[in-house]
Amino acid sequence: MSESVQEQIARLLAEGLELFGEDKIEQAAIRWREVLSLDPSHREAQDYLESAGLGVPSDPTAATAAVQTLCAQALEQAAAGELDEALPVLRSATETVPEDLELQAAFELVRGHLYARYRERARHGAGRPRVRVAAERLLRFNLPPDAGFVLSMVDGHTRVDELVTVSGMDPFDVLHLLGRLEAAGIVEIDT
């Protein structure tokens, strides 16, 4: 169901470069450090970190400080209304250092706000999502497995609350995926 380690590394490297190009150095560093957590000898990730003047995190306290800074920045970003942008930053950071409970709390806070937003958009669970694109076109989207799973249950009749129940997934994840599918124009929720 989940991507392979090699695919994950390729994605993290690409995301890091993209963020680096946008001058989001700390966020890029998180991605590259995550690559090193998957493959400590990954030459490319080491080079990127060194080129960015960040160095390979041999000192755990420096890495922790970097995560804390990132956490504060992400919370400010979320407070400014950029919840969708703050979420992946915090998600990536929590995956890198899952034991950091304050980081997890920051992630939870952003998830909470997004959850409230998604619920409102889905008419507090009463909305009925339906697929907007033809089945043959769906193949072009190269959807991740969990999005495909949620999409497979969208029939235009089932309410969002019912989708959450039958999916067996975390309610936030279902709403988040529906939100992503809606943003991509694949799904619409009646209002």
Partner 1 sequence: MIGAERTLLSFLDAPVVVGDPDGCAVYVNPAFEARFTRAVEGVPGIPLAELFEGGAREAVLRAVVSACRQGESVRFRLREGSVGFSAVASPIEAQGEQVGVVILLKEEVEGVERILTLHRQMEQPLDDLAHALDGLHEQLRDARPRALADDALRALGRVRKAADEVHGVLTGAPGRSAEAAPARVVRRFDAGALLHRVAGRMARAFEAGQTRLEVVAKPALPPLACDEHRLEALLQRLLEARLAQQPPPAHVLLGARLIGTGSASALVISLCEMGRADFGARFADAPVAREEAAALAAELRGVAHPRLGRATLLRLRLAG
Q: Which residues of the shown chain bind partner 1 in the complex (CB under 8 A)?
A: 71, 75, 78-79, 94, 98-99, 101-102, 104-106, 108-113, 115-116, 165, 168-173
Residue with smaller CB distance to partner 1, 20 or 34: 34
**Measured from the CB of residue 87, what is the shortest distance to partner 1 in angstroms?**
13
Give the angle 116-108-144 at the CA atoms, nearest 5°. 80
Residue with smaller CB distance to partner 1, 4 or 142: 4
Residue with smaller CB distance to partner 1, 173 or 188: 173
Give the angle 102-105-111 at the CA atoms, nearest 5°. 150
**Measured from the CB of residue 70, what is the shortest distance to partner 1 in angstroms?**
13
**Measured from the CB of residue 174, what is the shortest distance to partner 1 in angstroms?**
9
**Measured from the CB of residue 79, what is the shortest distance to partner 1 in angstroms?**
5
Residue with smaller CB distance to partner 1, 84 or 173: 173
User: Cα dihedral angle (117, 123, 128, 132), rounded to 10 degrees?
Assistant: -50
User: Cα dihedral angle (160, 165, 167, 169), rounded to 10 degrees?
Assistant: 100
Are the beta carbons of 121 and 179 closer than 8 angstroms? yes
- Contacts of 116-121 with C-beta under 8 Å, sequence gap 24+, read 117/83, 118/172, 118/175, 118/176, 118/178, 118/179, 119/175, 121/179, 121/182, 121/189
**Measured from the CB of residue 57, what is the shortest distance to partner 1 in angstroms?**
19
**Nearest to residue 112, comparing CAs of 61, 171, 43?**
171
Residue with smaller CB distance to partner 1, 72 or 133: 72
